[in-house]
Chains A and B, each alone.
Chain A
Amino acid sequence: MSTVKLTVNGKAVSAEVEDRTLLVHLLRDHLNLTGTHVGCDTSQCGACVVHIDGRAVKSCTVLAGQAAGSNVTTIEGIAKGDELHPMQAAFRDNHGLQCGYCTPGMIMSAIDIVHRHSGQLDEETVRHELEGNICRCTGYHNIVKAVLDAAGRMKVAQAAE
């Protein structure tokens, strides 16, 4: 057992976990942040994507200990109170989900994509960049629309700041 200390969604947290604990289980089972999902558990589907120090990673393939001292952001940490993150709002407005299982990972990956491309995105880039996130409902069409929509909204929001 080890004490893992890290920052999750802006709050300092500490948990006593077995060394074999995966980050996704630390988040879900110890911190009750169940928005992050376990899908394939083999680093392929992307349902478990969170940000570590601002970078999208698959939390089913990271030991909790590896995240010690880092800033972790989950789907629960991106809205400002009642105001959805522009990416969440765009997914809702564009019907970018059906069952919703992949959605938290999609949104966390999509935010990372927009950040890395400075908001300069086209459909081909979004489709390519989402290759590590699998959705079995939507056929991706509305997800891609939502990401492009959000890229515009995030650019506007950034310009306003």
Chain B
Amino acid sequence: MYQTTYHRPSSVDEAASLFAKGSDAKYLAGGHTLIPVMKQRLASPSDVIDLGKIKELIGIEPTGDGIMIKAATTHSDVASSDTVKKAIPALAYLASLIGDPAVRHRGTIGGSLANNDPAADYPAAVLALGATVKTNKRSISADDFFKGLFTTALEDGEIITAVSFPVQAKAGYSKFNHPASRFALTGVFVAKTPAGDVRVAATGASQDGVMRVPAIEAALKANWSAGAIDGVKISADGLMSDIHGTSDYRANLIKVMAQRAVTAAG
């Protein structure tokens, strides 16, 4: 790891002003992506600004129509939260599948979303649930937030402060995980709103990161059942192909994971 300067601000405003002063600053939340990348010398920020201990960024609160998870809340706190389990159990379940227990003790929802790894779990939930990403500057809808591989709508220095999730009539997640990293080889989150709209998002599949799956959304809107997905054709165009699975294999996984997610959602 190259030399860097570590900062631990106590507020979001202080963090943003430290960022503005750094020549090439990076925010650190749980550090479970940034630190490995720095160790590999693929990143060499001049300043590392730790958001992990900022009190206003930690916690889970019920809202009028759902829940709000503040950005530096760890995966283990989401997975074990009674508030999340009651409102959107599929979201708590998704958090329980990330990495391993020690990783979940450090990794955060805000960090995962800001990084937007194409095989991360949270982007699928945020997109399928139609969540809203709140930052220190504005609110961004899930449909506008994800902009492709490791790319988001966040501007330089902008900090995710919380994510709001509306409750659903039904929601489920299923992931075929990479046996070593636990990242999604493909994971699919399905959700049906109280008004009957259906949103389906797949992670780990597309070369452009998390994506919605309109064909499965249409099938499930007509008939919410695993069987409704049987006849859906998923194109392998634009899907990832690597040592772990071809694009055709991932196209099939999207269907199978969607079916399992629907079954889990009930």
Binding site for B on A (CB under 8 A): 2, 18-20, 22, 41-44, 46, 49, 52, 55-58, 61-63, 65-66, 68, 109, 112-113, 116, 129, 131-133
Contacts and interface: CB of A to CB of B under 8 A. Distances in A.
13 contacts: A2-B6, A20-B1, A20-B2, A20-B38, A49-B102, A55-B105, A58-B106, A61-B32, A62-B31, A66-B31, A109-B101, A131-B100, A132-B103
A132 B104 CA distance: 10
B118 interface: no
Contacts of B50: 63, 65-66
B32 A44 contact: no
Contact of A56 (B6, B8, B101): B101
A70 B48 CA distance: 19
A32 B102 CA distance: 23
A41 B4 contact: no
A19 B101 contact: no
Given A19-B48, A44-B180, A65-B6, A57 B105 contact: yes
A68 B7 CA distance: 11
B102 to A, nearest CB: 5
Contacts of A43: 32, 36, 99, 102-103
A42 B48 contact: no
B39 interface: yes
Nearest to A64: B6
Contact of B181 (A2, A19, A44): A44
Interface size class of B (residues with CB under 8 A): 20 to 34
B102 A46 contact: yes
Contacts of B20: none
B102 A19 contact: no
A37 B196 CA distance: 53
Q: Which secondary structure dominates chain A's binding surface?
A: mixed
Q: Shortest 5 CB-CB distances between A and B: which pairs?
A: A132-B100, A65-B6, A19-B6, A55-B105, A20-B1
Interface centre among B6, B36, B181 (most CB of A within 10 A): B6
A63 B105 CA distance: 15
A20 B41 CA distance: 12
A75 to B, nearest CB: 14
A43 B103 CA distance: 8
Contacts of B209: none
B52 interface: yes
B3 interface: yes
B36 A42 contact: yes
Given A41-B39, A43-B36, A61-B32, A132 B4 contact: no
B221 interface: no
B102 A132 contact: yes
